[in-house]
Structure 1
Amino acid sequence: MKFSANLGFLWNDQPLPEAIKLAHQAGYAAVECHWPYQFDADEVKNALHETGLQMLGLNTDRGDISKGDNGLSSIPGREVEARAAIDQAIVYASKINALNIHVMAGFASGEEAEKTFIDNLQYAADQAKTHNITILIEPLNHYDAPNYFLQTSAQAEDILQKVDRSNVKLMFDCYHLQIMEGDICRRLERLMPIIGHIQIASVPARSEPNTGELNYHYIFSKLEALGYSAPIGAEYKPAKGSVDSSWLADF
């Protein structure tokens, strides 16, 4: 199994170009990040070229975090801001040849929020298509992100059907979905046709994936049987604060 270092959590005390190099030294096959916009895209691209690593994905901007924003795309009345964040992400991703953009929904609920999210996702998909970029949506659990619009795989599946764009997929985060729903292997099998990326962490601590209640050895064997060969995103918070990638040897 190949792994992608999520630099939103790993080496996040370092500038992004340096974090990419550290991920390469640690033995990761790819990288991904959260919000890279403070770093010059050319410097990031050079680090990716130097290491030979692919940037799998990045997130749209959260909005005004001082006011509690965690994404914008499902919030009625903020469509202009949401689409500006989508445009920003597409420009940055195209410069560094990133494969995916996670369009963050934000805190909202109800039918109008769903319609707003669908409209913004259709916009994102149409804009990203010419750059061969896939748009991802990700359910987040209600402990870490209370009142986040997108919380379950069933809700995500329904939205993807309504969006009806081939380049919009599900980000299947085992940590979030184990907390919200469980039954991870059956969900992976059923949802595989709409999955664009998979992420892992231990549950419930969200630390190194070789601990906790999920047996990733078993999950990875199921993924191999399903023919999934893309790098798995290691989106975890190091238990000791500093990054220790020795867990990679367990898989």
Structure 2
Amino acid sequence: MPRFSANLGFLWAELPLPQAIRAAAKAGFDAVECHWPFDHDPGAVRAALTEAGLPMLGLNTLRGKPGENGLSALPGREAEARAEIDRALDYAAATGCGAVHVMAGFAQGADAASTFNDNLRYACERAADRRIVILIEPLNHHDAPGYFLRDATQAAGIIAALDRPNLRLMFDCYHLQIMQGDLTRRLRDLLPIIGHIQFAAVPDRGAPDHGELDYRHIFAAIDAMGWDRPLGAEYKPGGATEPTLGWMKTLR
């Protein structure tokens, strides 16, 4: 039976993070994850996690300046990118968070690829002693046109080339359905390098009980593959979160 993680970047986003953690526990989630929690005291966040009995699965590096979407593939911005990697790793360690998603940013070409690889090596080395996983995630070309990571094939090539045991793929069903489709086969083929799985309806990124994806089938397939970690509900509720949670019963 699948277990679920609430992405608090979208769910209960109107609440301070410690309150959102408690709300997720009350709603029956098995874990939580974040986008950019850095404005919240890590001690208070860790205390809320302990009180709720939930693990924090992941968080993102900061996007950069307004209009940017990550720094780690931007040539000439290495010092900023690595400072944000350090900030994210420090926060993850302070809160007991298991993974950091290193955001690449808007860039293309050989120089961007070399920059991203160098920054990922740095992130993996800094994360290894803390037993934190580094995640990379392709984003679809409608929501993030020009983003460096375009699809799972490109991400898998980077992971293979760098060959770091703590570098994994964030498999977001929403993004990858838009870009590549064939999700159950792709999940099966990429399972050895997947570090986290997220989901939302396609095409509106709402709750997973509608749209062009049958998450009953997808969740059953993931379960049959032996995946036993919580799946990340990273969808936009379009208002209050609680009224959108009926899928937690119907899709389990």
Scaled to the shorter chain, the TM-score interval is over 0.9
TM-score (norm 1): 0.98
Deviation at 1:221, TM superposition (A): 1.1
- CA RMSD between the two structures: 0.6
Q: Pick from 232, 236, 240: which aligns with 1:242?
A: 240
Deviation at 1:14, TM superposition (A): 0.7
2: distance between equivalents of 1:228 and 1:33?
A: 21
The C-alpha deviation readout for 1:120-173, integer Å capped at 9, x for no partner, is: 001000000000000000000000001000010000011111221010000000
2: distance between equivalents of 1:26 and 1:151?
A: 34
Within 5 A, what are the aligned runs for 1:52-71? 52-65=53-66, 68-71=67-70
Q: Secondary structure at the match of 1:219?
A: helix
2: distance between equivalents of 1:29 and 1:151?
A: 30
Q: Secondary structure at the match of 2:123?
A: helix
TM-score (norm 2): 0.97
2: distance between equivalents of 1:224 and 1:41?
A: 33
2: distance between equivalents of 1:99 and 1:55?
A: 7
Matched, 1:16 2:17: yes
Partner of 1:89: 88
2: distance between equivalents of 1:218 and 1:14?
A: 33
1: distance between equivalents of 2:141 and 2:46?
A: 35
Deviation at 1:98, TM superposition (A): 0.3
2: distance between equivalents of 1:127 and 1:110?
A: 26
2: distance between equivalents of 1:246 and 1:226?
A: 25
2: distance between equivalents of 1:99 and 1:13?
A: 24
Q: Secondary structure at the match of 1:88?
A: helix
1: distance between equivalents of 2:68 and 2:182?
A: 30
Deviation at 1:247, TM superposition (A): 1.6
Partner of 1:225: 224
1: distance between equivalents of 2:23 and 2:166?
A: 31
Partner of 1:134: 133
What number of residue pairs does the alignment pair up?
Answer: 248
Deviation at 1:224, TM superposition (A): 1.2
Deviation at 1:210, TM superposition (A): 1.2
2: distance between equivalents of 1:221 and 1:246?
A: 18
Matched, 1:98 2:101: no
Residue 62 of structure 1 aligns with an amino acid whose one-letter code is R
Partner of 1:76: 75
2: distance between equivalents of 1:224 and 1:15?
A: 33
Residue 39 of structure 1 aligns with an amino acid whose one-letter code is H
Within 5 A, what are the aligned runs for 1:179-198? 179-198=178-197
Deviation at 1:43, TM superposition (A): 0.3
Partner of 1:163: 162
Q: Secondary structure at the match of 2:26?
A: helix
Aligned residues with identical type, % of pairs = 57
Partner of 2:34: 33
2: distance between equivalents of 1:214 and 1:100?
A: 27
Deviation at 1:225, TM superposition (A): 1.1
Residue 247 of structure 1 aligns with an amino acid whose one-letter code is W
Can you give the 5+ residue segments of structure 1 that lack an aligned partner in the other structure? none
Matched, 1:108 2:86: no
Q: Secondary structure at the match of 1:54?
A: coil
Residue 54 of structure 2 aligns with an amino acid whose one-letter code is L
Q: Secondary structure at the match of 1:136?
A: strand
1: distance between equivalents of 2:192 and 2:55?
A: 23
2: distance between equivalents of 1:224 and 1:50?
A: 29
Q: Secondary structure at the match of 1:169?
A: strand
1: distance between equivalents of 2:223 and 2:70?
A: 33
Q: Secondary structure at the match of 2:246?
A: helix
